[in-house]
Amino acid sequence: MANAVSMKISSVRETGLDSNVLGEMFRRMLRIRQYEDAVNFLFLQGKLAGTIHQCQGQEAVAVGSCIELGDDDYITTTHRPAGHCIAKGMTLHSMMAEMFGKLEGCCQGKGGSMHLGDMDKGVIPAIAIVGAGVPISSGVALGFKMQKTKKLAMAFFGDGAVNEGAFHEGINLAVVWKLPAIFICENNFYGASTHISKVIGTETIAERTQSYGLPVETLDGNDVIAVYNSVKKAVERARNGEGPTFIECQTYRRTGHSRSDPNKYRIQEEEAYWLSRDPIVLFRKALIEEKMLSESEIVAIETEVTKEVEASIEYARACTDPQPEDALIGVYSDAEEGN
Amino acid sequence: MANAVSMKISSVRETGLDSNVLGEMFRRMLRIRQYEDAVNFLFLQGKLAGTIHQCQGQEAVAVGSCIELGDDDYITTTHRPAGHCIAKGMTLHSMMAEMFGKLEGCCQGKGGSMHLGDMDKGVIPAIAIVGAGVPISSGVALGFKMQKTKKLAMAFFGDGAVNEGAFHEGINLAVVWKLPAIFICENNFYGASTHISKVIGTETIAERTQSYGLPVETLDGNDVIAVYNSVKKAVERARNGEGPTFIECQTYRRTGHSRSDPNKYRIQEEEAYWLSRDPIVLFRKALIEEKMLSESEIVAIETEVTKEVEASIEYARACTDPQPEDALIGVYSDAEEGN
Amino acid sequence: MAKMSIVEALREGIREEMRRDETVFCLGEDIDVPGGFGGAFTVTLGLSTEFGHERILDTPISEAGIFGAAIGAAIAGMRPIVDVQYGDFLFCAMDQICNQAAKLTYMSGGKLKIPLVMRAPVGATTRGAQHAQSLEAYFCHVPGLKVIAPSTAYDAKGMIKAAIRSNDPVLIFEHKLLYGSKGNRSEASSLSPTGEVPDEDYIVPFGKAAIRREGKHVTIIAKLLMVYKALQAAEELAKEGIEVEVIDPRSLVPFDEEALFTSIAKTHHLVIVEEDHLGWGWGAEIAALVAEKAIYYLDAPVKRVAARDVPIPFAPIMENYVIPDAQRIKAAVREVLI
Amino acid sequence: MAKMSIVEALREGIREEMRRDETVFCLGEDIDVPGGFGGAFTVTLGLSTEFGHERILDTPISEAGIFGAAIGAAIAGMRPIVDVQYGDFLFCAMDQICNQAAKLTYMSGGKLKIPLVMRAPVGATTRGAQHAQSLEAYFCHVPGLKVIAPSTAYDAKGMIKAAIRSNDPVLIFEHKLLYGSKGNRSEASSLSPTGEVPDEDYIVPFGKAAIRREGKHVTIIAKLLMVYKALQAAEELAKEGIEVEVIDPRSLVPFDEEALFTSIAKTHHLVIVEEDHLGWGWGAEIAALVAEKAIYYLDAPVKRVAARDVPIPFAPIMENYVIPDAQRIKAAVREVLI
Ligand SMILES: Cc1ncc(C[n+]2csc(CCOP(=O)(O)OP(=O)(O)O)c2C)c(N)n1
Ligand SMILES: Cc1ncc(C[n+]2csc(CCOP(=O)(O)OP(=O)(O)O)c2C)c(N)n1
Ligand SMILES: [Mg+2]
Ligand SMILES: [Mg+2]
């Protein structure tokens, strides 16, 4: 971690992306932030059941990773899925309705906050067992490779997940079978309350992972452009049949691990450093400084997103409650088809 | 793998071991070989039930690793346990009786060929689930460390085991908790019929493992002295509280994976190379060349071991068959004690 | 005597045993990181203050690893208490629990002791399918394990102490809605029963059921949260003149057959209630035992009330429908009494 | 029509489906390495000759990894057939099977299909506790899985084909002593039943039991190897004038309740036989179903014959005592007929 806090991110202009795409990236980051803030508010009001694991502060990782992907590239996500879902193009309507447990929710109210997903957008229902999405993601990549497509699979997971056996087994399969897979480790330095330094024997997760025999990188996950640049190369590798890539994106939660966690276990300097580097603020600044978007264009996006989030809440509230008996359907696919 | 086959092993004399210890090492290696050969013979004759996984050719790893250990250092072993058991000091009598399913067997006939063990010699009943012994071994080391003893735990496992999640999780615990643990990987290049090159992305297993953050080494596992020298340092590290060590011992099965496997999947040159380098022959030659043991001393050991193996068979045959109802005892420890 | 919640009773039980025996220690994820949670449901909160971080050992997220390590430590002579944050994660350590912990003693010819306590919170709390399961049946089926499920503070303390002193692997199921955890980690729909807990040392031995309410018309056997749902049903049915006897097995393996048979010899009617899934659930064995050994006591077929056989859905409307409530229990009682 | 062993029938079933549908593929440890075993029991032996090593994919020893990969491939539109060498290793992949494969469809609101076949050999063959278990009960208990257990060549082929065409995760239990594997990997005490298998395409749909022998005095329901032990007992009892009806459920989930109830409505006596452990085993649910829904058909309590509740011991003398045989089945039949 640098000592002098840099508020600069990688050059926005040098990406070659036009302002439409950059604007869309900004919009998605903002959408994530505002959606999550709204969910938090609703949760504290007692409007939502269960628990929440939020990703404010980690928006750059999700958006920088997903912007190059198509709907038919698949991702796996985790107990903290909202950012990835939004970055991958899911609608706030379908997500918010799910949070309210409604039939119009992306999982018809059966999934909830930890299982958001939508196959139309290539989002496998989020897997809330830490690490378990990794081999599944490798399997998706295997399927895509066998089908001789150019599609790829991307797995999101946290720093804590790398100590799970499933991670180990899954990433190794991607290497030995040279699969079109990308592993995005969101290193926010904590697995729940436990600091990364207590649970792995290397400085970075990339060091720990390189020995599987694949390209690895550690980068500033609050720099959406750094994420984008790195993922872009990984996407090319995957689509060209050159195998998997591992990218460690260092980032930070601006919220607790779940619900009302006050983060009392965090290291103060570390927290101060990271909280001062809000990925949305950094990106906004860069967009304006490099003149890719004007202040007023950005404000327009901000206004739109605010409205969109409000609309999603209104929509969700008005959606249909499931009937109790709806619980009984959807267990098997065959049954639904009458075989 | 060297191209010109070297029949030389590390210097026997430079170890500083006296001829008693060296003789004992030779005796144990021979004991393993002859025990395994006898078991094979008995198995083919239909005298033994179940299956067998034998370790002829891998004797140097077991003996080089165990000779420095005491009875109160614990080891975990695998589906291929006989070598480790003998190297750690278990008696042929108790093992052979177990193979015959007798009450006097080391597991009272309940374990069989894949679960040989004897806590009096620090051998945890062999664990036949690939990889599963690794976290258990770390746990033993944890216990020893908490008890502030100098004891250590050593885990034996194969090349195939390193792809199991249990291996990954177990070795990481040893690193982050700096445990008195030694991990001995017997790389015999195959997990059952599958060559190592098909299942990991690095040349050696040491490379794959170093990133956990512990000292690793790859060495010639048919050179008992090389194994001994390396393990000795690892034992010192463990006893001094300096944490775990990983040692990859490259070796080769002289037999099939199990029962009557004819090894048809093996690479011919590789096989020729390794079979030409019998660890017992190499050690015998070195002992004589470096004048640590005379030919006649060695022949004496050979004769004794042959007798010992024969005696163990005779003993085992004469042992007591369990009663069917003996199956019902030994499930719980409390019950036995009447609580 | 002190009034305690179950979470306090478990914590005190662990504390007393850790004081008594220095081989006892806890390991698990986030069990007492300074400033952290004290485990997912605060059972181990603050114990590191007294015992230090060697004996309250925070681990990586590696269920197979830490259960394996606990087994190893037990072999080395310690008495580990290992936990998962949610029972559902037991599946990640399934090989270590079922193939290793449960079998090593036997494989050794009865010579190796595995004094090991495994803790697992169960029950549905509107968190969706992967944080909701009741897993008792899976583990009751494994010879070599003991399985307990305390539902009161008194039992929680007495049984965890018995588990710690046992020389065998014991799996203790704790219900999330019965803990009575406080602060940030309290649960919305929690029942939080508190109860009297003696100050002096005591244990609750395994294999003895508790009769939570006496009655003569019908027996309900129920465990964990369902004990309370059954009591609620019994209360309501009492107003109609139906007297329900409620049995809480507490110890699932070993199971107190006699208490059950004695009760149905009196009531002649049996309803089995649990939060685990119906098919091949814990209750199936209870019904089977009765069908084999005590069927002549009954005047009507047995009736099981259990979670419907679907993964647990998130939306409260559906979750409530899947998990048994007093309403369904009452209907079952009426059915067997017809 | 051709006479086939079960191992041949499974192989041909897989072969036909792989020809029919190029999304079908196999993955597992040592399933067809050149010069190797063709899987632990030769089911996939030689298939790579026709289909190549992409579709007969040898894997690292990583059960969680390969079951997870199979799930992922199914999500990507493939129809994977994944196996473990011994059923006991399913525990290593338990999270992927129970928390992922079984629940993803439901968690998605019914939108995601998981067409996945999982193969697992079960049964005791004097290899000790970790290579011996019958694991049916664990998986029957998981909503979202289908579980089948063919015991004849005809069913093996017809059911694996049905499993491959199913859009749901199907776990197929195969008994080691029924395969009839040849060569190096044959089993000593194998029964090796061979049977007529049609040449033309057919499937055996799930949820239909088979009556293996008709009788009027007592019904035995038994699966896998125990079907044959039950038939042997029936044969012997017939000499005493006791006519036993033997039902083979074949499909465990869904289960054919009707066939069972119809049979006991006729015989009024029921013995349940299995190789799985007694307590909380597969048979418990069968007894429970009868206790709940069909108890009035019976003239005597049900009786279960199952593996005794200890880990499986190595020594044949003890293993034979733990695993049910015709002798114990006959005793049970006599007991219910008293
Ligand atoms: C197998 C498993 N173990 C434990 C948990 C409980 N749990 C949920 S999130 C979490 C921390 C995960 O940390 P990390 O992977 O770094 O992701 P982050 O929460 O930081 O995004 C834990 C321990 C779980 N869901 N699954
Ligand atoms: C979890 C698990 N998966 C598969 C097996 C079946 N199996 C037994 S030995 C073996 C090969 C092990 O290879 P390796 O670890 O290299 O040890 P080696 O046999 O070469 O000594 C396999 C696949 C097993 N026993 N356990
Ligand atoms: Mg994290
Ligand atoms: Mg090997």
**How does pLDDT run across B45-84, given as a tens digit for each residue?**
999 999 999 999 999 999 999 999 999 999 999 999 999 9
Nearest Cβ partner for B140 among C64, C75, C104? C75
Q: Has residue C242 got a pLDDT over 80? A: yes
* Residue range B289-310: mean pLDDT, rounded: 98
Q: Which chain B residues have a beta carbon less than 8 Å from that of A213?
A: 200-202, 208
For C53-84, write each residue's pLDDT tens digit: 999 999 999 999 999 999 999 999 999 999 99
pLDDT (0 to 100) of residue B3: 54
Which carries the bigger pLDDT value, residue B162 or residue B337? B162
The alpha-carbon gap from C163 to the nearest alpha carbon of chain B, in Å, equals: 11
Please tell me which residue in D53, D131, D175, D268 is annotated as part of the active site. D131
Q: Are A170 and D99 in contact (CB under 8 A)?
A: no
The pLDDT-based confidence of B1 (bands split at 50, 70, 90) is very low
Q: Which chain C residues have a beta carbon less than 8 Å from that of B329?
A: 110
Mean pLDDT of chain D: 97
For B199-233, b/e burial (b = at least 16 CB within 10 A) is bbbbebbbbbbbbbbbbbbbbbbbbbbbbbbbbbe
**CA dist A16 → A68, A234, D336 (Å):** 13, 17, 82
The alpha-carbon gap from D28 to the nearest alpha carbon of chain C, in Å, equals: 18
Spacing, Cα B196 to ligand 4 middle (Å): 8
**Would you call B324 and D60 a contact, using CB atoms and an 8 Å cutoff?**
no
Q: Which chain C residues have a beta carbon less than 8 Å from that of B106?
A: 109
Best substitution site from A56, A77, A79 to test ligand 1's pocket, by max atoms within 8 Å of Cβ? Answer: A79
Strand partners, B186: B158, B249
- Please state, for a pLDDT cut of 90, what percent of chain B lies above it: 96
Q: Per 3-state DSSP, what percentage of chain D is helix, strand, and coil (rounded to 5)? A: 40, 20, 40
The alpha-carbon gap from A61 to the nearest alpha carbon of chain D, in Å, equals: 23
Strand partners, B123: B75, B118
The pLDDT-based confidence of B6 (bands split at 50, 70, 90) is confident
pLDDT (0 to 100) of residue A336: 55
**Would you call C290 and D291 a contact, using CB atoms and an 8 Å cutoff?**
yes
Residue B219 to residue B228: CA distance in whole angstroms:
11
Tokens 């971080």 sit on residue: C53
* Residue range B1-24: mean pLDDT, rounded: 88
For B170-196, write each residue's pLDDT tens digit: 999 999 999 999 999 999 999 999 999
Beta carbon of B227 within 6 Å of any ligand 2 atom: no
Q: What is the DSSP string of C168-189?
A: SEEEEEEETTTS---GGG--TT
Mean pLDDT of chain C: 97
One-letter identity of residue B6: S
Residue A206 to residue A204: CA distance in whole angstroms:
5
**CA dist D108 → A116, A126, C323, D103 (Å):** 8, 9, 20, 9
Interhelix angle D282-293/C282-293, nearest 10 degrees: 60
- C134: its two tokens: 């009741």
Q: Has residue D319 got a pLDDT over 50? A: yes
Q: Has residue C114 got a pLDDT over 90? A: yes
- Ligand 1: atom nearest CA of A162 is 15
* Residue range D9-32: mean pLDDT, rounded: 98
**CA dist B5 → B57, B268, B279, C56, D77 (Å):** 16, 15, 13, 53, 50
Q: Has residue A196 got a pLDDT over 70? A: yes
Spacing, Cα B161 to ligand 4 middle (Å): 8
Q: Has residue B133 got a pLDDT over 50? A: yes
* Residue range B230-258: mean pLDDT, rounded: 98
Beta carbon of B199 within 6 Å of any ligand 2 atom: no
For C117-146, write each residue's pLDDT tens digit: 999 999 999 999 999 999 999 999 999 999
D27: three-class secondary structure by DSSP: strand
Residue A80 to residue A258: CA distance in whole angstroms:
9
A74-76 sheet: strands from edge to edge: A74-76, A153-158, A181-187, A245-250, A216-220
Which residue has the CA at smallest separation from atom 20 of ligand 1?
A191
The pLDDT-based confidence of D193 (bands split at 50, 70, 90) is confident
User: For residue C145, what are the contacts with CB-CB under 8 A and spacing of at least 6?
Assistant: C97, C98, C101, C102, C139, C168, C169, C170, C171, C253
Spacing, Cα D63 to ligand 2 middle (Å): 11
- Ligand 1: atom nearest CA of A187 is 16
Identify whether D254 is preceded by a cis peptide bond (ω within 30 of 0): yes
Residue ranges of E strands in chain A? 74-76, 153-158, 181-187, 190-191, 194-195, 216-220, 245-250
Q: Has residue A186 got a pLDDT over 90? A: yes
**Would you call B142 and C73 a contact, using CB atoms and an 8 Å cutoff?**
yes
* Residue range A66-95: mean pLDDT, rounded: 98
Indicate yes or no: pTM above 0.95: yes
Binding pocket residue ranges, ligand 1, CB within 6 Å: A 79-80, 128-130, 157-161, 186, 188, 190-192, 257; C 29, 61, 63, 85, 89, 92
By annotation, the residues of B acting in catalysis are: 253, 257, 265
Residue A290 to residue C272: CA distance in whole angstroms:
70
Nearest Cβ partner for B109 among D36, D130, D314? D314
pLDDT (0 to 100) of residue A3: 54
**Residue D9 belongs to what H/E stretch?**
helix D6-20
**Would you call B164 and A164 a contact, using CB atoms and an 8 Å cutoff?**
no
Q: Which chain C residues have a beta carbon less than 8 Å from that of B135?
A: 62, 64-69, 71-72, 96
Q: Has residue B4 got a pLDDT over 90? A: no
- C214: its two tokens: 């006496």
- C70: its two tokens: 């606990």
Neighbours, chain C (3 or more CB pairs < 8 A): A, B, D
pLDDT (0 to 100) of residue A2: 47
First-to-last alpha carbon distance for chain C, in angstroms, is 44
pLDDT (0 to 100) of residue B259: 82
**Would you call C108 and B119 a contact, using CB atoms and an 8 Å cutoff?**
yes
* Residue range A240-247: mean pLDDT, rounded: 98
By annotation, the residues of A acting in catalysis are: 253, 257, 265
C217 catalytic, yes or no? Answer: no
Neighbours, chain D (3 or more CB pairs < 8 A): A, B, C
The pLDDT-based confidence of C189 (bands split at 50, 70, 90) is confident
